[in-house]
Amino acid sequence: MSFDAINELSTVQQSRRFEAFLDVMSLEELKDLADVTEVILKDSTNKEQCKKDMSLISKERMLLTLLLRDFQNRKKRSIPTFYESNSNELRHKTPLAQLHHLFEQSPALLFSLLTYHLWTVRGTGDLLALDKNIGPGKARQVLTEKGFEDTLCNLLYKGSKETNKYRIFSYSIVGENRFICLMYKQVNDTSIPDYNQGIRHQEVNTLMFELNSESGTVEIKTKVQFEGTAIKKYIEETFEGVLSAYKTEVFQEFNKTTFIESVLNGKTASGKPVNDFLVEKVVFRSSPIKNSPEITLQSKNMDVWPSVIDASDKGCVNIESIKDLASIAFKSSGVGRTIRSIVKDDGHVVFTMDDSLIEKETLESIKTKFFEKFGVPMFQEIANNKFSDGQADLLDYVMGQRDHNKHSQGDTKVLYETLIKKKFLKNITEVYAECTNSDCPHETKIDDPTVVLSECPICDSPLGVRDNISTQIGVSEVRAEVKRKLRVWCADESWIMLGDSNLTFGNNTLKLIKLERAIDQRPLQILITEHTLDGRLLSKLYKMMNPLIVVFVGQQEKFIGKYTSECIQAISFGKLYVQKDDDLKLFFDSIYSNLELRAKNYLASAANKSYQSLCGIHCPPDSLDKAKYTPGDLEDDGYALLKDMFPNSVKWGKQQSGKQLPEGVFSLSYVRGDKERYAFSFDFKLSYKNEGYPLEIGEQRKAVQYVNDLNDSDLIISYAKHRKLSGHIFISNCFNTAQVETTLKYFEAQIPSSVITKPIFITTDVLTHLHLKYRENFEEVELAKNYYMHWLFEALVNKSHYVTRDHVDTIFKKLLTKQYREIDVMDMTLLTDEVTKKDAI
């Protein structure tokens, strides 16, 4: 009940409420209350007599007791602790009497108690350590003096971009060393209707921090990042020190096998039953199931471990790292919470939870039970390097640091020195000239160490020299190690390593490692990079549709997962490096298997991206930007559309095994009485001129040579109906009409009349139109596939040598009559309508 509501009660109502309150008090509480309110008890051993004596209390003390009783609600644990730390003498043992005693000393102590209580029930915040002493005198000034408050509030106000105002609402000084501050942030200022009158309501949020002069720590409790930053800056400036994250000792003393068995087999790390610790939900970050999905096992109000054991026996869940245990939901001591694992940058794991509103004794009990169950602690970093995944995370972390001073101790130092020895990392010394005037920002890199320094060009002060040692990745050594791992994988000759290839993107050239599966010559490429991938580069890689493993060097696994999509699988160098040679076949086979499973999806996605890209070049050719759209882009875009429509397609590029080849070949087949089978080669020609692509004599000779070489192929001879290619297709955004005519004549002159291979011309406008109609009517195409392929073949080999939009529209106009369907299907629309109406009746 609020202060105003109690005061508005009549004297009789107050007396009744007080008597009802006395009824529920114990004898000890009655005696303690009588002592502090100076009520004389006639018989302190008789509860009824004590209640009768207490009812004679003065009106003023009765009202104060009612108000303190209301204040006491939900603070039962905070009051005794605060009283012991802040009372000048410990005269009372029950909370209400203690409140009376605090009030007698100073009413302001109740504000201090409220602040302390709000601090204790709020979850653990960011704990920082100050490298200078936190003097109690200055800490008290921070909370009590206006000048300090104004500085802090001004920093917060600026941090909010001058949106929110701040003030110190209250503070609590617990004992001699703990200084707790409660701040209000105004977030709203509105007038709201009230029963009697309108009230101006200034809505606030709260933020808190504590200075501990004994431990030298600062804890900040706020969910808003800039507020934490502003408070940190204020404390650093006030105490002239530097705050850094408070680090506890990393926990190393756990047994890997014990942890795994505690999770998968329901055993306890202590070997004894853990009472009052019901786990009803477990979440695994990944699983051995295809594509490694996150797995959640839950059994409401029941022990979940029998389900986990069963799932483990069936190979659905596994533990390969501490971080694989993503979270557990438990009930203990009347508390229900979720404990989550947080993976630190260096691979260490912390199990944490929201500990707000949990009493200290209960929290300690939960922490003990968690340790007894799993053998690892809560709220403390746990070394994960006993697992290979943890070793990989640590390696990626170390290789991602450029400041060599960060590797001065522990596991990181040993690993750092190993990587330096193997030349995966290299220390580079750079020399800088900087102004000796501390107020001048001038600094410049010196490439020639013999250069004579002049005066500062800004302030004419002398220049000094500073050495800066940075750590860089040994790219060639890393590449050699990746290739060594790949050669181990290829040792059984199921895969063949080919020569490296270059991929040009803008002004950059990427080097790819090429592999080929022996059984069917399917490609796989490996890209090694220490950089993030540009969105435009990703789009280009997607449209190329070649399965690609990107090995990120010095980047952590949790940050590169976003790149695993469509035809790309991202892995960290650490993940690959820690794989033992005997495990590499399973490792790479699993990756390629996942890429194969995604093939259908990324083919359709690549075609859609390419369609959008090709539609963007339907403009005057001379308006195309050569830097933004290249002939290689046209080859990738055009092939993606052809591959989507003709799955039996291959793209070769400019050369294959030193032999001149067209861009690629596709085949189409259908049944029309007999089985009809045809093959077509194709080439892409991008024009930047409005008069069209120059199909000059050199281009014509190459095209004829492509045809003659392919027509000698045993596979073409055995597959194609006429034992030859049916056509060589030129695809361009714009053709030169005159040169098209000369190309036709050159083909007629150079290719024997007995060979029926024709030159065919398709513009990108027609190609995108065909692909659009194909996608729009995909179901009809599948239902009349033989007719569709026959009509498409006739359009390709028509007498004009051009494929036009009219040809495409004629095909789909016939297709949409539905009279050529070869497969009967049920009309699901009619079925749904029938069933729906029947239910309605």
| Res 169: pLDDT | 94
Query: What's the pLDDT tens digit per position in 249-285?
Result: 889 889 999 999 999 998 999 999 999 999 999 999 9
| Direct distance between the N- and C-terminal alpha carbons of the chain, in angstroms, rounded to an integer | 58
Q: Which residues pair with 78 in a beta bridge?
A: none
Ramachandran quadrant class, 289 (left: phi over 0; alpha: psi -120 to 50; beta: rest): beta
Task: For residue 658, name the pLDDT band (cuts at 50, 70, 90).
Answer: low
| Res 634: pLDDT | 94
| Res 657: pLDDT | 46
Tokens representing 168? 């110190």
**Average pLDDT for 53-69:** 87
Packing angle, helices 631-645 and 599-615, rounded to 10: 130
Per the listing, tokens 């008090």 go with 25
How many alpha carbons fall within 13 Å on the CB side of residue 838? 6
Tokens representing 629? 């759209």
Provide the 10 A C-beta neighbour count for residue 333.
Answer: 14
Is pTM, for the whole model, over 0.85?
no
Instruction: Quickly count helices (H) and strands (E) in the chain.
Output: 31, 27
Percent of the chain with pLDDT over 90: 53
**Average pLDDT for 712-740:** 93
Q: Which DSSP string corresponds to 28-73? A: HHHHHHHHHHTPPPS-TT-HHHHHHHHTT--HHHHHHHHHHHHHHT
What does the alpha-carbon distance between residue 751 and residue 737 come to, in Å, rounded to a whole number? 21
Is the dihedral angle over the CA atoms 420, 424, 425, 426 positive or is it negative?
positive
**Average pLDDT for 59-85:** 85
Total number of residues shown for the chain: 841
Q: Who's near 806: CB < 8 A, 6+ residues apart?
A: none
Rounded to 5 degrees, φ, ψ at 563 are -85, -15
CA dihedral angle for residue 569, residue 572, residue 574, residue 577, rounded to 10 degrees? 40
Q: Could you tell me if 388 and 572 are in contact, meaning their C-beta atoms sit under 8 angstroms apart?
A: no
**Average pLDDT for 787-803:** 93
| Res 601: pLDDT | 79
Rounded to 5 degrees, φ, ψ at 658 are 75, 5
For 425, 470, 800, the CA distances from 420, given in Å and listed in that order, are 5, 12, 67
Q: Which residues pair with 192 in a beta bridge?
A: 199
Query: What's the pLDDT tens digit per position in 545-555?
Result: 889 999 999 98
Q: Could you tell me if 840 and 833 are in contact, meaning their C-beta atoms sit under 8 angstroms apart?
A: no
**Does the pLDDT of residue 190 top 80, yes or no?**
no
Query: What's the pLDDT tens digit per position in 802-817?
Result: 999 999 999 999 999 9
Query: What's the pLDDT tens digit per position in 814-838?
Result: 999 989 998 888 888 888 888 877 6
**Does the pLDDT of residue 566 top 80, yes or no?**
yes
Helix (H) or strand (E) holding 497: strand 495-497
| Res 655: pLDDT | 46
The beta strands (E) that lie in 152-288 are given as: 165-174, 178-192, 199-212, 217-221, 243-245, 278-284
**Average pLDDT for 374-403:** 89
Mean pLDDT of the chain: 88
Tokens representing 758? 């024709």
Q: Which DSSP string corresponds to 722-779? A: TSS-SEEEEEES-B-HHHHHHHHHHHHHHS-TT---EEEEEEHHHHHHHHHHHHHTHH
Q: Could you tell me if 412 and 406 are in contact, meaning their C-beta atoms sit under 8 angstroms apart?
A: yes
| Res 328: pLDDT | 95
**Does the pLDDT of residue 149 top 90, yes or no?**
yes
Q: Could you tell me if 305 and 279 are in contact, meaning their C-beta atoms sit under 8 angstroms apart?
A: yes
Q: Could you tell me if 445 and 431 are in contact, meaning their C-beta atoms sit under 8 angstroms apart?
A: yes
Rounded to 5 degrees, φ, ψ at 330 are -135, 165
| 548-552 and 523-529 strand pairing | parallel
Tokens representing 792? 């498409």
Q: Which residues pair with 578 in a beta bridge?
A: none
| Res 412: pLDDT | 81
3-state SS assignment for residue 421? helix
Provide the 10 A C-beta neighbour count for residue 784.
Answer: 22
Instruction: Tell me how many degrees the CA angle 510-732-657 measures, rounded to the nearest 5.
Output: 45
Per the listing, tokens 């060009």 go with 457
What one-letter code names the amino acid at 317? Answer: V
Tokens representing 441? 């920002």
Ramachandran quadrant class, 278 (left: phi over 0; alpha: psi -120 to 50; beta: rest): beta
Instruction: Report long-range pairs for 495-499 (Cβ below 8 Å, ≥24 apart).
Output: 495/524
CA-based diameter of the chain, in Å?
132
Q: Who's near 647: CB < 8 A, 6+ residues apart?
A: none
**Does the pLDDT of residue 198 top 80, yes or no?**
no
Rounded to 5 degrees, φ, ψ at 164 are -120, 140
What does the alpha-carbon distance between residue 232 and residue 131 come to, in Å, rounded to a whole number? 13
Task: For residue 212, name the pLDDT band (cuts at 50, 70, 90).
Answer: very high
What does the alpha-carbon distance between residue 109 and residue 102 come to, in Å, rounded to a whole number? 6
| Res 840: pLDDT | 56
What does the alpha-carbon distance between residue 273 and residue 261 come to, in Å, rounded to a whole number? 14
Task: For residue 1, name the pLDDT band (cuts at 50, 70, 90).
Answer: very low
Query: What's the pLDDT tens digit per position in 275-330?
Result: 999 999 999 998 888 667 899 999 988 999 999 999 999 989 999 889 999 999 99
Q: Who's near 831: CB < 8 A, 6+ residues apart?
A: none
Percent of the chain with pLDDT over 70: 96
Per the listing, tokens 């490792």 go with 587
Task: For residue 4, name the pLDDT band (cuts at 50, 70, 90).
Answer: low
The beta strands (E) that lie in 59-117 are given as: none
Task: For residue 656, name the pLDDT band (cuts at 50, 70, 90).
Answer: low
